[in-house]
Amino acid sequence: MSHSTPRTTHGSLRTRLAAVLAVALGGLGLSGCQVDVGGQTLPSAYYLQDDVQYFPAGPEFKLAKEAAALKAYKDELAED
């Protein structure tokens, strides 16, 4: 009695598994995901091509104009 079904050897099974693993790891390496780990954002694979956004520090006291206007008004009232 002869069997026509092919038998896989351990060597070819390991080769296939290694090829699938290599393709999967290669796909993960090329995907370029940005990851947040412990509050720290780690860059994607394309971080050199990303646009840099810089927001300069503003004044500590956000209502400086309003405080100056209120002081000027109080000074004007004190003069009268």
- Is the confidence at residue 8, as pLDDT, over 60? no
Measured over the CA atoms of residue 16, residue 21, residue 24 and residue 25, the dihedral's sign is negative
Query: In which residue are the tokens 């206007």 written?
Result: 69
Task: Supply the pLDDT for residue 77.
Answer: 94
Q: Dihedral of the CA atoms 18, 19, 21, 22 (nearest 10)?
A: 110
Q: Would you state the torsion angle of the CA atoms of residues 19, 25, 26, 29, taken in this order, to the nearest 10 degrees?
A: 180
Instruction: State pTM to two decimals.
Output: 0.30
> Using one digit for the tens of pLDDT, what is the confidence trace for 30-50?
665 667 778 888 877 777 787
